[in-house]
Structure 1
Amino acid sequence: MLKLLWCLFSNSHSLWVHWVRKYLIRDEVLWDVKDTGLGSWVWWKLLSVRQLPKNFLRMEIKDGSLVRFWTDIWHPKGRLIELTGEIGTQKVGIRRDTTINDIYVDGRWRFRRCQDPLIQGMIQDVERFPLTLSSGRDEALRRRGTDDYISRFIASETC
């Protein structure tokens, strides 16, 4: 199950991943997708265990074109949508599906001013996060050690 989840997060080029993304995940992220009854028993099981890798996965930002600001795990605090709730998208003026390269332009974050202390704290945390966009595709990383992340899934290291 973890291998299949890894394939979905790492944007594997398999036919199964493309099919799942097109017909089951659609425009959502795996963390938030609802079971519509269209998938198989395996899909239902994947949805039931999808929270398992949350502490072991993160996205590495390179060009920022794939990583979603609110819903992907790229910041040390985790998914930003879980810090602010859906109201954060409205208060900051950033849609839920916005990618990093849409709001990090010329080395600066583009946030709407907001008086909410919770949102201000989140913005400060994001602005302190060291980020430099570069060439290359964003990719999923798996934690192997305390601060050691790799871009491969090795089943023998998951126990």
Structure 2
Amino acid sequence: MLQLSIIWLLLSKAPSLWVDWHWNIHLNGQSFWSINPSETDSWAWRKLLDLRPLAIQFCRTKLGNGNSTSFWFDPWTPLGQLITYIGQSGPRALRVRMNAAVVDATAGSGWTLPHPRSQREVNLHAYLSTINLPLSADVDDIYEWIAGDSPLCVFRSSTTWEVLRPRQAIKPWVDVVWFKGAIPKLSFTMWIANYDRLPTRARLAAWGMAISPLCPFCSNYEESRDHLLLRCVYSKEVWGGVFARCLPPSNTFTDWAELLSWIRGAPPKLTLLRKLATQSTVYHLWKQRNNLIHNQTSVPAATVFHAIDKEIRNIISARRHRKHFDTLMILWLR
């Protein structure tokens, strides 16, 4: 994004010593879109040139006198770069030299282009007929940055990012993983667990690692996500303390979908508390699992719940003046 903004500063000829230097040394009358990098160019300059295919999507030249706009390489028509639209044979077919400016293709009140011989040349002529000639001699050509619904005279990273960023349909679990007031470390672990991508022993054994797939807490069943975080007797004891504060489910959890349903089925005043408690429980169970495997440190389930209780109290206390958090401490301690 930073490099795109630098390209915009260069094209818009912002009042800058850096911009003036590049126009006089690197460009020197050539189009930014057609210049070839040389071996003596700096790494930063070559990276800017590498970004031209991306930057051209946002750039549009607004014609003034046509003196500084490249006929073939600047995007001054809705057809994009004419050298791409017409093709490499365009300069010969239209009798306009490769380094010509737009004004060079005009003569008084008309264009000096020959009769079109292809449909693309017809499309170009159709657009040219909408431009009033002669061009305004006292108006300079300017660049516009088109991001979103309208052209801009300044570069805005927010609108550019909205165009660039990949978009997908909203996931049904997004309100449980990412929500206002969530703690990043807890949400991240919840996100990984929700996708069932935690490196449990069952997964690691399935990848070919020579390890026991059994749960480190109970050693009776394979360590899958649902067993480790929901069905293991150790985890159930931890959840028991959480349920005492957030109202227990009607039935014991057997899979991840039931956990998500329990969170969403909470009364409105308990929804946020259940989200925070669930994420904290998942985080601390996974933390204790790692502590047991890597440090051989075993603690009672009550100790894990104590850490969860402390985490929830700290979260609520730090946000007690925010809306929806002001009553959570009462609900948690009841």
Shift of 1:7: 1.5
Match of 1:130 in 2: 131
Match of 1:105 in 2: 107
Match of 1:22 in 2: 24
Q: 1:55 to 1:72 in 2, by over 3 A?
A: same
Whether the 8 Å contact between 2:86 and 2:121 is mirrored in structure 1 is no
Determine the C-alpha separation between the residues in 1 that align with 2:120 and 2:160. Answer: 35
Whether the 8 Å contact between 1:70 and 1:97 is mirrored in structure 2 is yes
Shift of 1:118: 5.0
Q: Which letter does structure 2 place at the counterpart of 1:50? A: R
Match of 1:73 in 2: 75
Residue by residue, what CA displacement relative to the aligned partner does 1:65-90 show, whole Å, maximum 9, x if unpaired? 11121111010010001122232111
Determine the C-alpha separation between the residues in 2 that align with 1:131 and 1:100. Answer: 13
Shift of 1:119: 5.9
Whether the 8 Å contact between 1:59 and 1:74 is mirrored in structure 2 is yes
Determine the C-alpha separation between the residues in 2 that align with 1:68 and 1:31. Answer: 9
Q: 1:128 to 1:102 in 2, by over 3 A?
A: same
Quick one: which of 82, 85, 89 aligns to 1:83?
85
Determine the C-alpha separation between the residues in 2 that align with 1:40 and 1:102. Answer: 33
Whether the 8 Å contact between 1:81 and 1:88 is mirrored in structure 2 is yes
Determine the C-alpha separation between the residues in 1 that align with 2:119 and 2:25. Answer: 36
* % same residue: 26
Shift of 1:21: 2.3
Shift of 1:108: 1.6
Partner SS for 1:51: helix
Structure 1: 4+ residue segments shifted above 6 A: none
Whether the 8 Å contact between 1:83 and 1:122 is mirrored in structure 2 is no
Partner SS for 2:56: helix
Determine the C-alpha separation between the residues in 2 that align with 1:71 and 1:50. Answer: 11
Shift of 1:128: 3.7
Q: Which letter does structure 2 place at the counterpart of 1:104? A: T
Q: Does residue 31 of structure 1 match 2:15?
A: no
Shift of 1:59: 0.3
Match of 1:12 in 2: 14
Q: Which has the higher helix share?
A: 2
TM-score, normalised to structure 2, is 0.43
Determine the C-alpha separation between the residues in 1 that align with 2:12 and 2:21. Answer: 15
TM-score, normalised to structure 1, is 0.84
Whose Rg is larger? Answer: 2
Shift of 1:122: 4.7
Match of 1:59 in 2: 61
Q: 1:113 to 1:128 in 2, by over 3 A?
A: closer
Match of 1:145 in 2: 148
Determine the C-alpha separation between the residues in 2 that align with 1:42 and 1:90. Answer: 35
Whether the 8 Å contact between 2:148 and 2:160 is mirrored in structure 1 is no
Higher relative contact order (CA 8 A, sep 6+): 1
Partner SS for 1:141: strand
Partner SS for 1:81: helix
Q: 1:74 to 1:131 in 2, by over 3 A?
A: farther
Partner SS for 2:114: coil
Determine the C-alpha separation between the residues in 2 that align with 1:106 and 1:121. Answer: 21
Partner SS for 2:60: strand
Unmatched runs of 5 consecutive residues or more in structure 2 = 162-334
Q: Which letter does structure 2 place at the counterpart of 1:136? A: V
Determine the C-alpha separation between the residues in 2 that align with 1:119 and 1:145. Answer: 27
Determine the C-alpha separation between the residues in 1 that align with 2:6 and 2:31. Answer: 15
Determine the C-alpha separation between the residues in 2 that align with 1:149 and 1:79. Answer: 18
Q: Which letter does structure 2 place at the counterpart of 1:121? A: V
Give the length in aligned residue pairs. 157
Whether the 8 Å contact between 1:65 and 1:100 is mirrored in structure 2 is yes
Quick one: which of 5, 11, 15 aligns to 1:3?
5
Whether the 8 Å contact between 1:88 and 1:119 is mirrored in structure 2 is no
Q: Which letter does structure 1 place at the counterpart of 2:51? A: V
